[in-house]
Structure 1
Amino acid sequence: MRIGKASNSSSSRSKLFFLCVSLLAAFLILDLLWASSSNWAPFPASNVLFFPDRILPLPKATKEEKSNKKGERILSATFADLAAPLLNWEKMATSPVPRLDGAAIQINDLLFVFAGYGTIDHVHSHVDIYNFTANSWGGTFDMPKEMAHSHLGMVTDGRYIYVVTGQYGPQCRGPTARNFVLDTKTKQWQDLPPLPVPRYAPATQLWRGRLHVMGGSKENRHTPGLEHWSIAVKDGKALETEWRTEIPIPRGGPHRACVVFDDRLYVLGGQEGDFMAKPGSPIFKCSRRNEVVYDDVYMLDDNMTWKVLPPMPKPDSHIEFAWAIVNRSLVIVGGTTDKHPNTKKMTLVGEIFQFQFDTLTWKVLGKLPYRVKTTLVGFWNGWLYFTSGQRDKGPDDPSPRKVIGEMWRTKLNLL
């Protein structure tokens, strides 16, 4: 009898011991999992959002946002959203077709809108024109049959529009090295000497009498290119038969803003890597690869050396035609940023950024009606316009969904 009692008592103590050890182990494992997962959570428990190398406050919903009586976007605390004031947006006439990865050039009160995807399987091969004075679309005309349909480099001298390289066809087809120039007064096209090798979405600008083409993605659509070429041009004609090699860009890749101001050349944002054609696919079906979006800003000075300037408020890509120069500052509309840390999906940008050339400082000007990439931007008579691109899935989902042709405007009062 005593032996049985001792045995039962010992068994009970053993069970209690193992239960305590199991509970402690479970607690430690849960604590470890929570600690590791919190580094990737889209919404930290505190009132700040964590970004690489910086901490930013979460945007607080205003009374107007909460009520949403005027139809403004209710901005949730998702990974990419920065605190920004509301802007009053007015919807204008919609573009004749929706466009993704199209191109646009403004000359006076006209916005020339080129090419782009309608869907992943259909690309446009014409130009539409928006008249800011009349606030209407019109004057559609065709592009050359050999001209690229997306990922173009493009710039104007005020009359002639220089069109450089880009992707030919839908899905993730190959690039072309063919270049063209459009006389916007006669609507006539002419050839330019081809690039040494084709590129996707290179940074392109006119600077000191030369057409400069930099970076972009190489022929496989994914590998960043560092090459920099230029050719002398005047009045829509090339003055040389071959492109000249220039100083390479410090960081390669496509989808950047490239501007000239006060005789200095600036390259802003962009990314390394992009979608590629799936191996063996007869339609060159797009297959996603890793992209790294960055906030780098570079300036080419009188000595033809690149200088590093203060970075953008956050990494931003797909902004090659998403900008306008307003009152000695650069205004950038939308784009894409780092992947969502939890879902790993592409994250769109819903803010407008301003870069002051005189002080080399950045400011977040305000919110867009929704997050959107590859916007086509113009500025006229105090109004900032944007059209086209691919918008988000909704206020609480910053990933891309619908290709749009909508035109919006807001009044900007920048000192």
Structure 2
Amino acid sequence: MGRGKHRKSTKLVFVCVGLLGAALIADLLWASTFPYKSSSSSTLAFNSNYPHPSSNSSAKEEVTDKKDGVHGRILSKTFADLPGPQLKWDRMSESPVPRLDGAAIQIKDQLFVFAGYGTIDLVHSHVDVYNFTSNTWSARFDMPKEMAHSHLGMVTDGRYIYIVTGQYGPQCRGPTAHTFVLDTKTKKWQDMPPLPVPRYAPATQLWRGRLHVMGGSKENRYTPGVDHWSIAVKDGRVLDKEWRTEMPIPRGGPHRACVVVDDRLYVIGGQEGDFMAKPNSPIFKCSRRNEVVYSDVYMLDDEMKWKVLPPMPKPDSHIEFAWAVVNNSIVIAGGTTEKHPETKKMILVGEIFQFHLDTMKWAVVGKLPYRVKTTLVGFWDGWLYFTSGQRDRGPDDPTPKKVIGEMWRTKLSLPLS
């Protein structure tokens, strides 16, 4: 009888151990599948006012290079940096305010800089203007109260600036479908017909007399949208009563460059997924989700069909206002790339990429003063300028830290491709 009880108790112990082991394995699989489950780091990628949990210990904050147990590779903290020439940069007059996820439009020798985060809890509701001729911040004026504060779609015809949709408010609040047009000579604003549905950071351009809005993130801020709408505009006026549905973009998502050159429309880079509002948070507190950054390049042709072009040298996102057209090429400065394969931290981009429009080839033509995302770029009289964004923690740490308002320029001499 005693032996029987002993066998049963021994069997029970083995069953319990087996169940515990299965639970541990399941937990590990869950953690590896959802590396951003925790929301504790959600504000780190927005503002340095929210310190790293280990910031009290410099030894803990330092990310040690480790070997990949499968391939034996050394995984550097500067993962995905590409070689490129060093450029001489001049620091210019700093922007009146720091900006992250702002927007910028160049008209002749003026750069109109809109909105953006100052901190995760503060968004700007005004426009600052930089004059490239005098190299000074020369003007400031308010935006409409109903206008979005970040993740905007924006383009100009040389006088009027068309603004569509975007996020209204700080943290990870919802998007608005409102659209506006600004007369840059009179500084007057007018409403336009709202988008069919709100979007975050859609690719936006003027092409063949129509304002095109493509992709972006859907209303939950995370799900990629592939919708494509257009509306006829001329001299700041809308000629249609409603938006027209166009050919969907092959891959959805926000934070892409969208450029028209020689009657061709290009959509470059971007990502799928983004921060989301934490469920039931009264302030829509941001919570990190998995993001996939890509290097895709698409072109819309004469038949209104999308063509796939050679990809960027590496995946790049947060570049919607980080480009300029120089000598028959598109130049893109900074951004974000794939997460570090071990730490899973966001990695910023410090390269300047050039896309030759005749050969359809990419090159790295220089390095920025530091890695930085959401740069606001302009090009004037041979000088490449950028301002604002979020920079890295230093030469050996490409993760995001400080939101900046600095303005830099470099003499950029690119041969005709």
Does residue 118 (structure 1) correspond to residue 151 (structure 2)? The answer is: no
> 5 Å matches for 1:295-306?
295-306=295-306
In 1, the alpha carbon distance for the partners of 2:68 and 2:198 equals 47
Contact 1:41 1:342 in 2 (8 A): no
Task: Give the aligned partner of residue 233 of structure 1.
Answer: 233
SS in 2 for 1:166: strand
Counterpart-to-counterpart distance in 2, 1:107 and 1:403: 25
After TM superposition, give the deviation of residue 35 of structure 1 in Å: 6.2
Matched length = 350
Deviation (angstroms), 1:80: 2.0
**Percent of aligned positions that are identical:** 81
2:394 counterpart residue number: 394
Off by >4 Å, runs of 4+ in structure 1: 37-41
Within 5 Å, give how 1:402-413 maps onto structure 2: 402-413=402-413
SS of the equivalent of 2:69 reads helix
Among residues 25, 28, 42, which one is paired with 2:75 in the alignment? 42
TM-score (norm 2): 0.83
Q: Partners of 1:261 and 1:358 in 2: how far apart?
A: 11
1:288 corresponds in structure 2 to 288
Q: CA contact under 8 A between 2:67 and 2:75: conserved in structure 1? A: no
Q: Runs of 5+ in structure 1 lacking a partner?
A: 1-32, 44-76
Other-structure match for 1:108: 108
Letter of the 2:196 counterpart: P
1:207 aligned residue:
207
Matched residue, 2:319: 319
Match of 2:385 in 1: 385
Matched, 1:171 2:171: yes
> RMSD in angstroms over aligned alpha carbons?
1.2
Distance 1:263 1:39, change over 3 A: farther
1:117 Cα deviation after fit: 0.1
State how far apart, in whole Å, the 2-side matches of 1:139 and 1:399 are: 33
- Higher relative CO (Cα under 8 Å, sequence separation at least 6) belongs to 2
CA contact (8 A) 1:40 1:341 kept: no
Q: Tell me if the contact between 1:115 and 1:125 (Cα under 8 Å) persists in the aligned partners.
A: yes
Normalization by structure 1: what TM-score? 0.83
Give, in whole Å, the separation in 2 of the partners of 1:193 and 1:216.
18
- Counterpart amino acid of 2:400? P
Contact 1:324–1:378 (8 Å) recurs in 2: yes
Letter in 2 for 1:240: D
Does residue 1:157 correspond to 2:157, yes or no? yes
State the Cα distance separating 1:211 from its structure 2 match.
0.1
Task: Give the distance between the partners of 1:352 and 1:83, measured in 2 at CA.
Answer: 11
C-alpha contact (below 8 Å) 2:214/2:249 kept by paired residues: yes
Larger radius of gyration: 1
Q: Which amino acid aligns with 1:105?
A: I
CA distance in 2, matches of 1:386, 1:332: 11
Q: Name the structure 1 match of 2:98.
A: 98
* Paired AA for residue 42 in structure 1: L
User: Residues 29-65 of structure 1: CA distance to partner in whole angstroms, max 9, x if unpaired?
Assistant: xxxx97635467423xxxxxxxxxxxxxxxxxxxxxx
The 8 Å contact of residues 68 and 75 in structure 2, kept in 1 or not, is answered as: no
Distance 1:41 1:175 in 2: 42
Q: Deviations over 1:269-314 (max 9, x none)?
A: 0000000000000000000000000000000000110000000000
1:321-355 Cα offsets, whole Å, 9 max, x none, are 00000010000000000001111000000000000
1:196 touches 1:243 (CA, 8 Å); kept in 2?
yes
| 2:307 equivalent in structure 1 | 307
Equivalent-residue separation in structure 2 for 1:40 and 1:375 (angstroms): 32
CA distance in 1, matches of 2:129, 2:74: 44
Question: What is the one-letter code of the residue matched to 1:402?
Answer: K
Q: Matches of 2:72 and 2:220 in 1, distance apart? A: 34
Q: How is 1:6-155 mapped onto 2 (pairs within 5 angstroms)?
A: 36-38=69-71, 41-43=74-76, 78-155=78-155
